[in-house]
Structure 1
Amino acid sequence: MSQRTLAGKNVLIAGGGKNLGGLISRLAAAGGANVAVHYNSAASRPDAEETAAAVTAAGGTAVLLSGDLTEPENVEKLFADAAAALGPLDVAVNTVGKVLRKPIVETTEDEYDSMFDINSKAAYFFIKEAGRNLADNGTIVTIVTSLLAAFTDGYSTYAGGKSPVEHFTRAAAKEFAPRGISVTAVAPGPMDTPFFYGQETPERVEFHKSQAMGGRLTQIEDIAPIVTFLATDGRWITGQTILANGGYTTR
């Protein structure tokens, strides 16, 4: 039986309006949490509004927040606004990311900069502000990728941009441990979302499916409960990268 719950907790989810972030928002609300739902742009606002409505329907307080998190001042404002709306924050989850599959010899400097800004820089300053703002005994979770443990072509800037987050996670876990804050990275396998299909051919999709348990891609339903577990009964796990991919790859 669970000893810890999210009841009454205040949760901030970056990229919390749709896909994996949207489901985490809904699960947190179902567990009794209030949720600050972050979205990036006007195009994603309708999904974020729908998610916020689901949080409210579940009995929680929802707040919608937006901003480009590649700018550190926007990350600082995000945490300040979330705390102003909900009160002291207990859980911070960063699902923000960008996928690019492209050969190294064809990758431009602008593409490189964009990938590292979104996947690495934003993650660093999110962890920083979470460490500054979370209440004692809080939880920080960052979504990374199982490509950190895989060996394949095309994803140099995606896996490369996500790989520093492992080191950010380890350092933060040590630095925030005196306050009881756990810091973890969750690394899904190739996920059945629009972000994945835009990068792959049908043949490669079938190959990726064949490498995991049950011959399928990772579903957002496989990952979201891991995040809520880490914020409740799983808080003793810290400084880790959890490869959640149905056996797609390991270390």
Structure 2
Amino acid sequence: MEEDPDALSTVHGGSDTVPLDFWGREPWLKVNNVFTYGPVYTSAIREYNLSRGMPFFLMETAYEFEYGADEYRIRIQAYQAILSGAFGHLYGNNPIWHFEGPGLFRPTMGWKEALDSPGAKSMEVLFAFFSSRKWWLLEPDNKNRLLVDGMGNDMGRAVAATAGDGSYAVVYMPTNDAITVNLARISATSVRALWRDPTSGEVTEVEGSPLKAQRTGFKPQELNSRGYRDWILELIPQSPVAQSQ
């Protein structure tokens, strides 16, 4: 801090701690974060709802290849963070963490092989998707006005966010159970709906799209290209509402 007082600073605390709760008045604390091994949605949406005026990110949660965390868990963590108010998240991979040295968990592969792990590839898809959109406009659907039914709970909790300018909305579904979305929350008379595979990035049109801007049920196909149940639903205005002159 003394060497570079203008550095962007935060704190890596213990699990289920939030820096603002302990160091909120310290001038060096510039960025907040959440750290949890539980459902990320719960911690992230709590911090978002507190509206404390400091951006936050997901500092740490389960690493791939530890505590049974596979690519599926890695994706759920990441999307629950980003669509619940976090400006980003940190992805952990156990073999890369230890670089084949001694560690907490016995590595199942070398670190170079782990660079191309299923979880790492999922993060490439996530990065490519959000980089193609104005991700900074996203506002979490914290009052369930967009995602109105079928959201689930805990690690199976579906999460949604809408761009503040009404240009698009995103729903991440950890399971392929049916959900209900109020498309009237999007500034459009009709909405184009797309399924995006979070493991490959492949996009397919939802049957019947474009859809009327009303409450609509969605249910993806059974499994994505990696054999898991999670999907991304992307919603884009097809016919924007005319602006008054």
User: TM-score w.r.t. structure 1 length?
Assistant: 0.25
Structure having the larger proportion of residues in strand: 2
**Higher Rg:** 2
Return the structure number with greater relative CO, CA threshold 8 A, min gap 6.
Answer: 1
Structure having the larger proportion of residues in helix: 1
